[in-house]
Structure 1
Amino acid sequence: MTVSDILDPQVDLDTLPARERILSTAYRLFYRDGIRATGIDRVIAEARITKVTFYRHFASKDALIVAFLELRHDRWMQWFRDALDRHATSGRRGRLPVVSAVEEWMSADSFRGCAFINSVNELGDELPQVHDIAARHKADMVATIKDTLPPGPHRARTAQALGIAVDGAAVHAQYSRGAAAAVKALATIATALLAETE
């Protein structure tokens, strides 16, 4: 799975069953344009299905939002684990794989920030499941980062700090419209955190 597969997947809608067609369309539009800015009528039109078909598969826009976030979590985590493994074996010497993986993610043309942070900002007060899914996503991300760190008594704390640094880097890259400064700062934080554990 490539970073494009999670940020801007290209699919042939005509080959998909109705539910996947709806979800694939929402997946692309919700991330690219925002959840609030994307109405159900637009999803229906771009998925090329009827309103009756939409409501046969999703009881409401909220149900579609939850399905989008669950799918995004699964795809992002699969890509992240693969990217960490790839960068661990072929990455730059002296650089944590998490820094290289995050750089790959944030440098993509279709990067629009973290879908989970964006969703909490847009809907966290209205749809409690958004908070729950985002919290689970971040916990899984931190656990995956922890698995890449050397053993030691501060491994969990270092992973948590790196997870927060990744989130900060993603927000910085989003508002500055560039990954370079965010990646450089993340690398500095990662190096400092590892030095503390040695």
Structure 2
Amino acid sequence: MPAPISEEQKTRDREALLDAAEALFYERGIQAVGMDDIRGAAGIALKRIYGLFSTKEDLVVAVLQRRDARWRGNLTDYVERRDDPQERVLAVFDWLEQWFAEPDFRGCAWINAFGELGATSPAILTEVRAHKQAFQEQLAAWVTAATDAAAEPVYLLAEGAIVSAAITGDTSAARRAREATRTLIA
């Protein structure tokens, strides 16, 4: 009988699995990646994988949840280095432009997941909506602190820049959205 797996090993396996799945899903798409691909990239047996996540859908949701915490956390860290409230709002677009310039940028993981599975997976749809709502609220808090202008147009400019950069490969979408935002919040 094999030795029981420690909680520490379970945590390491879970993180390795999430790392591998996130990289593969983001690079190739969720439906294009099979569980054998994830097994190979993570170096974890399929039985072990299914012991951690009973379905691929559960794994996708966990990947999106972890990515949300990291993505919004990195954005917050970057934006809140500024003291001026209007500069904080504009810094969102500076951060987006840096993200768009990363060599592995493939657009928004949540929009991608929605495009692939949003119509057929209530769990993934719920996770996508939760991320978008949280991002909208995060942005609204910065806009409200900076101006009396409505926050929703700023959110729509950010989302539009993300989609535009993903489709065109042009990082300047963030700069153009930044300039439009500057006008809105002035």
1:105 matched to which residue of 2?
A: 99
Q: Which amino acid aligns with 2:170?
A: G
Establish whether residue 45 from structure 1 lines up as the match of residue 44 from structure 2: no
CA contact (8 A) 1:19 1:57 kept: yes
Aligned residues: 176
Residues 37 and 69 (structure 1), Cα distance of their counterparts in 2 relative to 1, 3 Å cut: same
1:68 matched to which residue of 2?
A: 63
Shift of the alpha carbon at 1:185? 2.2
2:131 matched to which residue of 1?
A: 137
Shift of the alpha carbon at 1:154? 4.2
Residues 105 and 30 (structure 1), Cα distance of their counterparts in 2 relative to 1, 3 Å cut: same
Shift of the alpha carbon at 1:50? 1.1
Stretches of structure 2 that go unaligned for 5 or more consecutive residues are: 1-8
Choose from 97, 106, 128 the match for 2:122.
128
Shift of the alpha carbon at 1:159? 2.1
**Aligned equivalents of 1:116, 1:176: Cα separation in 2:** 18
SS in 2 for 1:17: helix
Residues 51 and 148 (structure 1), Cα distance of their counterparts in 2 relative to 1, 3 Å cut: same
CA contact (8 A) 1:112 1:174 kept: yes
CA contact (8 A) 2:100 2:165 kept: yes
Work out the percentage of aligned pairs sharing the same amino acid: 29
Choose from 178, 182, 186 the match for 1:187.
178
Shift of the alpha carbon at 1:152? 7.7
Shift of the alpha carbon at 1:56? 0.8
Residues 112 and 124 (structure 1), Cα distance of their counterparts in 2 relative to 1, 3 Å cut: same
Residues 17 and 153 (structure 1), Cα distance of their counterparts in 2 relative to 1, 3 Å cut: closer
**Aligned equivalents of 1:25, 1:100: Cα separation in 2:** 28
Q: TM-score, normalised by structure 2?
A: 0.85
Shift of the alpha carbon at 1:85? 1.4
Establish whether residue 172 from structure 1 lines up as the match of residue 167 from structure 2: no
SS in 1 for 2:79: helix
CA contact (8 A) 1:138 1:163 kept: no
1:34 matched to which residue of 2?
A: 29
Give the CA RMSD over aligned residues: 2.4
Q: TM-score, normalised by structure 1?
A: 0.80
**Aligned equivalents of 2:178, 2:146: Cα separation in 1:** 20
Choose from 1, 5, 14 the match for 1:19.
14
Shift of the alpha carbon at 1:61? 0.6
CA contact (8 A) 2:114 2:128 kept: yes
Stretches of structure 1 that go unaligned for 5 or more consecutive residues are: 1-13
Q: Which amino acid aligns with 1:115?
A: A
CA contact (8 A) 1:99 1:187 kept: yes
**Aligned equivalents of 2:62, 2:139: Cα separation in 1:** 25
1:8 matched to which residue of 2?
A: none
Establish whether residue 96 from structure 1 lines up as the match of residue 107 from structure 2: no
Residues 75 and 154 (structure 1), Cα distance of their counterparts in 2 relative to 1, 3 Å cut: same
**Aligned equivalents of 2:39, 2:20: Cα separation in 1:** 9
Q: Deviations over 1:51-106 (max 9, x none)?
A: 111111110111101111111111111111011113x259xx79812221211221
